[in-house]
Amino acid sequence: MTSQTITAEAAGTWRLGDRTVHRIGFGAMRLTSSGAAFGGSPADRDRSIAVLRRAVDLGVDHIDTAAFYFSSLRSANELINSALAPYPDDLVITTKVGPGRDPSGGWLPWARPEQLRGQVEENLRQLGRDHLDVVNLRSNGAPSLAEHFGALADLRDAGLIRHLGLSNVRAHHLEEARAIAPVVCVQNRYSLDSRRPEADDLLTLCGAQGVAFVPFFAIAGEGRESGAHTTETPELTAVARAHGATPAQVRLAWTLQRGPHVLAIPGTGNPDHLVENVAAGALRLSDEEMSRLDAAHRP
């Protein structure tokens, strides 16, 4: 499919609280390293900055990041700050708290409620902002998130955060959080070949409640942090060929067609892949193609 002039507008829009964003966004995790997400050699800084600026030029107005997105010599938040500050008025930056890493990259224990303010302030410092647009509380699998989400709600009331979301959660976490404060998005792992019935149910529940559902690893699928697939099923390859598209573009199109409230945040440090990802917002799959892909990739 022709991608050079397609912008994020082609994907349509959805709401994040009182903000409206294009349904194709950008994930910053892969900006910091030329290898796997948290390993490999440092990414070329100028190239990463150029990718961020090109994303905004293409109409991307929703960027996902985190203070723990860093590798040797590179920080996603610092790259975003350097590339885009002073930030466009329509740009929504979403970050995550809960996990943390020490300066040498080792993972720390999941934050206690009283430590979340420090994580929020760390993101504020790195991004050069006085408030965060959206903060997602990323679960560690705990049965209850009430105390942690309540701590973030207090920071929202204090003006440090504009909107709250959740990440890596189940349906009961969403209900628990919504009883404390409004939830604008749920960010969970979800892709053509990694979804489960409970994930489909949560996606549907979010749509019924007007909550954005934001899949991560929509392209990588089971590859997760290691990156995208090197081989694809014959069904996916055939659909891609029929549209003159790449398999990655078909995966993104399938993701977006799961519901009007689904927002994609594909990440890349490759400027050509960025253009292809944004162009996927214009790709429309038929009902028959969606059914074929579902059947071929049923877990």
Catalytic center residues: 69
Nearest residue to 277 via CA among 263, 258, 290: 263
Q: What is the 3-state secondary structure (H, E, C) of 216-239?
A: ECCCCHHHHHHCCCCCCCHHHHHH
CA angle 205, 177, 149 (to 5 degrees): 145
Helix axes 171-178, 146-157, angle to 10 degrees: 40
Q: Strand 74-75 and strand 70-71: pairing?
A: antiparallel
Q: CB within 8 A of 82, min separation 6: which ones?
A: 49
Q: Which residue has the tokens 């960027």?
A: 63
Nearest residue to 124 via CA among 95, 152, 91, 165: 95
- What DSSP letter does each residue of 130-179 carry, written as one string? SSEEEEEEE--S-S--HHHHHHHHHHHHTTSEEEEEEES--HHHHHHHHT
Q: How far apart are CA 276 and CA 292, in angstroms?
A: 23
Q: How far apart are CA 158 and CA 154, in angstroms?
A: 6
Nearest residue to 184 via CA among 20, 12, 9: 20
Q: CB within 8 A of 253, min separation 6: which ones?
A: 245, 280, 281, 283, 284, 285
Q: How far apart are CA 209 and CA 88, in angstroms?
A: 29
Burial label for 136, CB within 10 Å (0-12, 13-18, 19+), is: buried
